[in-house]
Amino acid sequence: MNLAHILIVAGYETTANMLANSVITLFRHPDQLAVLRSRLELVPGAVEELLRFSRLGPAFPRVATADVEIDGVPVPGGETVFPLHFPANRDPRACPEPDRLDVTRTDVQHLSFGVGPHFCLGAPLARLELQEALAGLLRRFPGLERAVPESELRWRSGLAVRGVEALPVRW
């Protein structure tokens, strides 16, 4: 049962929600959407930028193996923590102008797939799926736009995967 759950969440939910979150992010930044529509060759790098810029989750629990201090907060060994990668993806020491979406940004560094022994095994597949889906959407539906105001979108709650219940669009 756990393996089936992991495969569904990791293999489908994250990519489907990241695609929707990417489209929402591009709707919020029409100048960047226009750049991407006019230069589809930028999609692979834009996916990396969208992974860095957009918050998807997941926040999986980790157990501290020893006493440690994180940003002035003591974490005793054996304590469970939920490390969140998205604040690190906006660290100005790692990314110039981190709060600005730039689909032309090169050498994008992010922690969206984790790091070290917890690096996402499916990262290459997720990247490929996101690149193909985003390029396909932009090619097939060049006039794609939001069909409802963003305030009407209903977001799912929870720490695992952040996404909308539905994303109504028109073209």
State mean pLDDT over 71-75: 92
pLDDT category at 87 given cuts 50, 70, 90 is confident
pLDDT category at 127 given cuts 50, 70, 90 is very high
Instruction: Say if residue 156's pLDDT is above 60.
Output: yes
pLDDT at site 22: 97
pLDDT category at 75 given cuts 50, 70, 90 is very high
pLDDT at site 122: 87
pLDDT category at 12 given cuts 50, 70, 90 is confident
For the purposes of burial, counting CB atoms within 10 Å of the CB of 32, is it exposed (0-12), middle (13-18) or buried (19 or more)?
A: buried
CA pair distance 42, 131, nearest whole angstrom = 10
* φ, ψ (nearest 5 deg) of residue 107: 50, 50
Mean pLDDT of the chain: 89
Instruction: Say if residue 137's pLDDT is above 60.
Output: yes
Contact in structure between 103 and 49 (CB atoms under 8 Å): yes
CA pair distance 160, 93, nearest whole angstrom = 27
Strands 169-170 and 145-146: antiparallel
pLDDT at site 5: 67
3-state secondary structure the chain: CHHHHHHHHHHHHHHHHHHHHHHHHHHHCHHHHHHHHHCHHHHHHHHHHHHHHCCCCCCCCEECCCCEEECCEEECCCCEECCCCHHHHCCCCCCCCCCCCCCCCCCCCCCCCCCHHHCCCCHHHHHHHHHHHHHHHHHHCCCCEECCCHHHCCECCCCCCCCECCCCEEC
pLDDT at site 115: 81
The 10s digit of each residue's pLDDT in 23-71 is 999 999 999 999 999 999 999 999 999 999 998 765 677 888 999 998 8
The domains found in the chain, sorted by start residue, are 2-57+89-170 (1.10.630.10)
pLDDT at site 26: 98
